[in-house]
Amino acid sequence: MRDDVKDFLAEEIRKASKEGNLTDNRELAAAGSRFFNSEFTPDMIAARVESAAQIESPDIRILQGKGCYRYYSSRSMSDSYAEILNFTAEGDDIMLIASTVRRESRTYPRPSILSQFINAPFLVKPDRLDQIAEALAADTSEYKDIQLSSASNGDRYLFSSTFLEKSQADYMAEWESVDSMEIQ
């Protein structure tokens, strides 16, 4: 396996990460083919990146997409951000929101204000937000832990009942959207 190919791939991944983007094995196959004037398939790229990530370039991280592998460098991109970009790239805004809500309820913990999903890097269409929130809150199987909470000013939040009780989520939503405006 040629080291210069692996070096090229690692640098391409790092360059994309520095610009705040993931790259995938299809894009890299095209770029590699152009650069080396030699045919690379996405599968060949996937194997080389996996090898590089294990040995020479431990900063390179791999995410599984539906039809591809996506890559980033931990030198300039966090795991949490890459996970968001991966869901965004998949075009599955329900999964994007559900996974973010679960992570925030588990990690911080806090309920997730719905309006944040309109902004980068989520970029969920505003007219989809309420629809998704209602769908998640009504779901009784895969997303049965995702629930709605509202502050008195109308701000809507989602939380995972696996990690937060509703009363806690309600308190935090009201604090964040209303009470904290008066106490700074």
- Residues at the site binding other proteins, with contacts judged by CB under 8 A: 17, 20, 76-81, 84, 107-110, 113, 116, 119-122, 165-172, 175-176, 179-184
Whichever of 36 and 108 has its CB closer to other proteins, that residue is: 108
Q: Which is nearer to other proteins, 55 or 183 (CB)?
A: 183
Output the smallest distance, CB 150 to other proteins, in A.
Answer: 14
Helix residue spans in the chain (DSSP H): 3-18, 25-36, 42-54, 79-90, 93-107, 126-138, 166-177
Nearer to other proteins, 1 or 183 (CB): 183
In the complex, the smallest distance separating the C-beta of residue 44 from other proteins, rounded to whole angstroms, is: 28
We find the least distance from the C-beta atom of residue 60 to other proteins, in angstroms, to be 15
DSSP state of 142: T
- Return the closest-CA partner of residue 160 out of 146, 142, 181, 150: 146
Nearer to other proteins, 35 or 171 (CB): 171
Q: How far is the CB of 59 from other proteins (least distance, A)?
A: 13
Q: Which residues touch 20 (CB under 8 Å, ≥6 apart)?
A: 77, 121
